[in-house]
């Protein structure tokens, strides 16, 4: 009996201990929550700093060391350590040490950023800034209560330059349910995404680039490619960014129709635009015009590999001057010539070359609910510091004489062969400076354009960047942004992941179906999709649209 009693006593002790330890860690969370709910308390209690407009003055640096955690995209660039490199050390020295701040970078995997943030948030280790490029997901974070309410005055106080530039955007787009929530990076009006096509293939089948005026003509050419045994068009699994059916939409766009269906996060499988898009894809697939295994190409490297190997003749990318695409492709196919895909090539006859316009901001950011007042102030000060032209320029271009030289106009000429200590990340360090702007800018727009062209042009391929810019201007009038809802769409959050997965399943099934079975497969898919939650999303959106809660 005695043994048993001891055992049970021990067990009870451990269970109680375990539960207690569980409680204390959770109580800890509760306390944090309280402190964040009362924004001014801890800031005032640190006391020693003199007050200015009601906000403590930290211009001389914080009295006690503050750890600032900044998220940064991890894009798996070879040989690049995102959290510890020349520039992170430079930031620590120039900003951190001068303000008594320890700047810590938290890597976020680019291709699974939401997953990473969710895990960090759940374990209480998320950085001070929570960011995302698209509003629906940003609203999702807001809906999870993981973002603090912001005080515009506070931002204006600690980051006057930044506020001067972005204040209006924040006032216009940064409030949700009447609460100030988001702050933004600037997005100058420019884009470097380009679809490329193998010009040598086009010419080999007796056509000219100018012949590709419509989708019909393009499909004709693809058929000739197939006949000549050259290859197919590149294609990949649609995921995450559902902006595939713009060329199949009617013009002009009805704002309410657009608000209901156009959504980067949830594909509008059931719209007539998507039907037309899928019908074409089904035709292309069944006639061997596109990569037969497109559904296996689920990340960019796999799509790129097909193009580089000379198996596919089209590929889309964000053009940068240090891309290895051209040299890699030429290694396998010395005769390869590259051209920008003509505007009309993906657009059915009679349609307009529509596209998705960016919102007038880059990163959408919020402050972690667990961040203290001092940490929040440090974020504003960090943005202010980065908004200073000389700091931004250094982050974007590196060390003069090493990474670049200045030409007569004051534009930085990059040295593409530079491999020294201060080498920039493959996308010119964008993941660090994207907190304040999407694209590097000079004071004068003409100069910016010139600089952009240089940043986007690999040596010898300047004509690609020029054509890309020309096309961008030509199609400007046909670009529309997605509607912005001013409320949280609960159903979108609830069903998004399920519908994403279901959409991929259904659309692949539709595309792989024999042409004769397209209609039946599509109808069945529509029904499944609506029943799986899309109908509820449409109903919720319709209610918001009827109430005028969108822009």
Partner 1 sequence: MKVESASNQRKISITGVKKAEAAKRGTAYFLRRDWQLYLLLMLPLSFVLAFKYAPMTGLVLAFKDYKIARGFWGSDWVGFEVFQEIFARHDFIRAVRNTLLLNGLDLVFSFTMPIVVALLLNEIKSVKFKRANQTLLYLPHFLSWIIIGAIAYQLLSLGNGAVNNLIEMMGGNRVPFLQKDAHWLVSYLAIGVWQSMGWGTIIYLASISSINPELYEAAIVDGAGRWRKVWNVTLPSIRVTIVTLLIMNLGKIMEGSFERVFALQNKATTEYTTTIPVLVYRWGIESGNFSSATALGLFQAVIGLVLVIMADRIAKRLGEDGLI
| Contacts with partner 1, residue ranges (CB under 8 A) | 1-3, 5-6, 10-11, 14-15, 17-19, 21-23, 26, 29-30, 33, 114-115, 118-119, 121-122, 140, 144-146, 237, 292-293, 295-296, 298, 369, 493-494, 496-498, 501-502, 504-505, 508-509, 512, 528, 531-533
Counting Cβ atoms within 10 Å, is residue 60 exposed (0-12), middle (13-18) or buried (19+)? exposed
Q: Shortest distance, CB of residue 373 to partner 1, whole angstroms?
A: 17
Cβ closer to partner 1: 92 or 528? 528
Q: Shortest distance, CB of residue 126 to partner 1, whole angstroms?
A: 9
Query: Phi/psi of residue 329, each to 5°?
Result: -65, -40
Cβ closer to partner 1: 183 or 529? 529
Using the 8-state DSSP alphabet, how is residue 74 labeled?
E
Cβ closer to partner 1: 38 or 50? 38
- Rounded distance, CA 95 to CA 100, Å? 8
Cβ closer to partner 1: 295 or 550? 295
- Rounded distance, CA 263 to CA 248, Å? 15
Q: Shortest distance, CB of residue 237 to partner 1, whole angstroms?
A: 6
Q: Shortest distance, CB of residue 9 to partner 1, whole angstroms?
A: 8
Q: Which residue has the tokens 């950085």?
A: 127
CA–chain centroid gap for 549, Å, is 25
Cβ closer to partner 1: 99 or 496? 496
Cβ closer to partner 1: 311 or 479? 311
Query: Phi/psi of residue 28, each to 5°?
Result: -55, -45
Q: Shortest distance, CB of residue 245 to partner 1, whole angstroms?
A: 18
Cβ closer to partner 1: 200 or 298? 298
- Rounded distance, CA 94 to CA 116, Å? 29
Counting Cβ atoms within 10 Å, is residue 256 exposed (0-12), middle (13-18) or buried (19+)? middle
Q: Shortest distance, CB of residue 271 to partner 1, whole angstroms?
A: 20
Cβ closer to partner 1: 43 or 533? 533
Q: Shortest distance, CB of residue 470 to partner 1, whole angstroms?
A: 36
Cβ atoms 214, 344 nearer than 8 A: yes
Q: Shortest distance, CB of residue 514 to partner 1, whole angstroms?
A: 14
Which one, of 121, 153, 156, lies nearest residue 137 by Cα?
121
Reduced 3-state DSSP string for 176-207: ECCEECCEEEECCCCCCEEEEEEHHHHHHCCC
- Rounded distance, CA 120 to CA 93, Å? 27
């Amino acid at each position: 009996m005695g043994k048993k009693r001891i055992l049970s006593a021990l067990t009870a002790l451990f269970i109680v201990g375990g539960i207690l330890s569980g409680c204390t860690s959770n109580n800890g969370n509760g306390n944090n929550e309280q402190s964040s709910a009362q924004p001014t308390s801890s800031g005032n209690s640190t006391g020693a700093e003199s007050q200015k407009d009601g906000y403590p003055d930290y211009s001389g640096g914080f009295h006690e060391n503050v750890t600032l955690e900044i998220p940064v995209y991890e894009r798996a660039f070879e040989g690049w350590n995102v959290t510890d490199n020349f520039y992170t050390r430079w930031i620590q020295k120039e900003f951190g040490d001068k303000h008594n701040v320890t700047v810590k970078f938290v890597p976020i995997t680019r291709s699974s950023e939401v997953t990473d943030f969710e895990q960090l948030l759940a374990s209480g280790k998320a950085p001070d800034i929570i960011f995302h490029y698209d509003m629906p997901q940003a609203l999702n974070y807001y809906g999870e209560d993981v973002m603090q309410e912001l005080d515009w005055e506070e931002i204006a106080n600690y980051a006057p330059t930044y506020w001067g530039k972005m204040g209006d955007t924040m006032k216009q787009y940064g409030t949700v349910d009447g609460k100030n929530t988001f702050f933004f990076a600037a997005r100058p009006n420019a884009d470097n995404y380009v679809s490329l096509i193998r010009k040598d293939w086009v010419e080999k089948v007796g056509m000219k680039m100018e012949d590709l005026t419509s989708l019909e003509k393009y499909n004709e050419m693809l058929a000739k490619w197939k006949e000549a045994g050259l290859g197919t068009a590149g294609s990949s699994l649609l995921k995450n960014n559902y902006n595939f059916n713009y060329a199949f939409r009617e013009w002009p766009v009805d704002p309410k129709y657009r608000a209901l269906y156009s959504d980067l996060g949830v594909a509008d499988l059931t719209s007539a635009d998507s039907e037309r898009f899928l019908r074409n894809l089904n035709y292309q697939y069944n006639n061997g015009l596109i990569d037969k295994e497109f559904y296996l190409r689920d990340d960019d490297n796999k799509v790129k590999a097909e193009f580089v190997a000379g198996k596919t003749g089209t590929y889309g990318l964000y053009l940068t001057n240090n891309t290895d695409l051209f040299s890699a492709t030429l290694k396998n196919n010395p005769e390869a010539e590259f051209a920008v895909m003509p505007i009309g090539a993906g657009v059915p006859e009679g349609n307009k070359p529509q596209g998705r316009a960016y919102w007038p901001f880059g990163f959408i950011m919020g402050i972690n609910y667990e961040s203290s007042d001092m940490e929040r102030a440090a974020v504003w000060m960090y943005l202010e510091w980065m908004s200073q032209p000389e700091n931004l320029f250094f982050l974007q271009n590196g060390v003069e004489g090493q990474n670049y030289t200045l030409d007569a106009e004051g534009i930085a000429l990059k040295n593409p062969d530079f491999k020294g200590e201060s080498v920039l990340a493959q996308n010119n360090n964008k993941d660090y400076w994207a907190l304040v702007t999407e694209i590097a800018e000079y004071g004068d727009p003409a100069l910016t354009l010139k600089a952009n062209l240089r940043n986007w042009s690999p040596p010898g391929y300047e004509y690609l960047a020029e054509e890309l810019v020309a096309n961008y201007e030509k199609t400007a009038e046909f670009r529309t942004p997605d509607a912005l809802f001013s409320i949280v769409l609960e159903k979108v959050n609830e069903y998004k992941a399920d519908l994403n997965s279901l959409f991929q399943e259904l659309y692949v099934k539709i595309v792989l179906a024999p042409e004769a079975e397209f209609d039946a497969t599509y109808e069945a898919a529509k029904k499944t999709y609506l029943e799986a939650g899309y109908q509820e999303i449409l109903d919720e959106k319709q209610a918001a649209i009827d109430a005028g809660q969108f822009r």
